[in-house]
A and B are shown apart, each in its own frame.
Chain A
Amino acid sequence: MATIHPKLSDELSQTVVSSTKSVKIKIKRSNPNVNSEQKFDEFVVPIEKWTTVLDVLLDVKSHLDHSVGVRYSCRQASCGSCGMKINGKPGLACFTKISELDSDTVTVEPMDNYPVVRDLAVNMDRMINNHKKVMPYVIREDSEIDAESGIREFLQSPENVDKYIQFSSCIKCGLCNSACPTMAMDKTFVGPQALAQAYRYIADDRDKGKNKRLKVIDESHGIWRCHFAGSCSQVCPKGVDPAMGIQLLRGYLLGIRD
């Protein structure tokens, strides 16, 4: 049941704006540490055509309700902190303009498939742990720092870089895991984020840890539980295609890729 703060929502934001447009934002509020209550609070905030969902949330925090829990940092889709469900679809609040949503009401909720810390902030431990499990770094015995010759480079051809470069754009925002239907069902599924990162390093010709990583993902709640719904690729704000990475990884496991 939605609740409205009449006094707060009547009070317009103090931000100096030239626009006469406004948007109603519905924010899902909850604090599992206190009780299991969940509700939507509504606020009316003035907007410009460039206003993002994060701008609106920060406006609410600054002028209408300081207690709204939201995680953010860079405000330019680089840090991956402000992932949330915006009008039912996972997205970055800083990368979603209100004008693009084509709606007078914007509903924001915490991402699915993560435990809520408070309001829009979620606990991302599961994603980070799975990310660590696939060893997201170049594995090899020698080093770029050589005792005799100093620092050297592991050179790559542009063709080899092309094999993985899109997957290195991942900012660990967790939107792919939030959109994944298998993540919702299977609490131990490794998830599209970790699988895409496994592919990123396996496809890197400087890396020698292919077999170690394939062993990690080739288990009963690993890569084979992906249903190829493709929603992970749909919601990625950085253009990474985890669904394709997963299919390419399966090629290694089925022996049709080297």
Chain B
Amino acid sequence: MMVLRESIIMKIHYGTALGALFLTVIHIMMRLTQDFHESLEYENVIANYESVGYAILLELLLILISVHGFNGLRVILLEMNQGPTYEKLVTIGCLAGMAALIGYGSRTIIMTNMGML
């Protein structure tokens, strides 16, 4: 298994935090263009997913938050317990969780754009 140096992982951690913050600000500003209740209406949510630019923003946001969040979880779990087997399990578990979350979120965007929702 390829092992990244911790400083590389932390650069990714800080970078994804900054990126997610920036995209969240854009996301919230986009939401401010309509009333809160309108923003949550089914048709409007689907319309957001069907807009290519907005779908890319949401996909990026999903990736950044998943990478940042699961690395944060890995760090917390590594601090709670130590040992080579445990650490390997935590790393693999967090990578799997990250991939699953990104996969599930992307699936929603793809299915919407394929007219399946």
Contacts and interface: CB of A to CB of B under 8 A. Distances in A.
A224 B10 contact: yes
B7 A225 contact: no
Contact of B82 (A187, A223, A253, A254): A187
A104 interface: no
A218 B6 contact: yes
Interface residues of A, number: 15
Contacts of A185: 79-80
B5 interface: yes
Contacts of B101: none
Contacts of B6: 218-220, 222-224
Contact of A224 (B7, B80, B87): B7
A94 to B, nearest CB: 34
A103 interface: no
A39 B79 CA distance: 30
B11 A254 contact: yes
Interface string B41-85: 000000000000000000000000000000000010011101000
Interface string A211-225: 000000011111111
A213 to B, nearest CB: 13
Interface in A150-183: 182
Interface in A189-225: 218-225
Contact of B79 (A218, A219, A225, A253): A225
Contacts of B82: 186-188, 221
Given A182-B79, A185-B80, A225-B75, A218 B5 contact: yes
A185 B80 CA distance: 6
A222 B80 CA distance: 15
Quick one: which of A186, A220, A225 has the most chain B CB within 10 A?
Answer: A220
Contacts of A221: 78, 82
Interface string B1-37: 0000111011100100000000000000000000000
A32 B87 CA distance: 30
B78 A254 contact: no
7 contacts: A187-B82, A221-B78, A223-B6, A224-B75, A225-B79, A254-B11, A254-B14
Interface of B: 5-7, 9-11, 14, 75, 78-80, 82, 87
Interface of A: 182, 185-188, 218-225, 253-254
Which 10 pairs, one residue from A and one from B, show the smallest C-beta to C-beta distance?
A253-B7, A218-B7, A188-B82, A186-B79, A185-B79, A224-B6, A224-B10, A218-B6, A187-B82, A218-B5
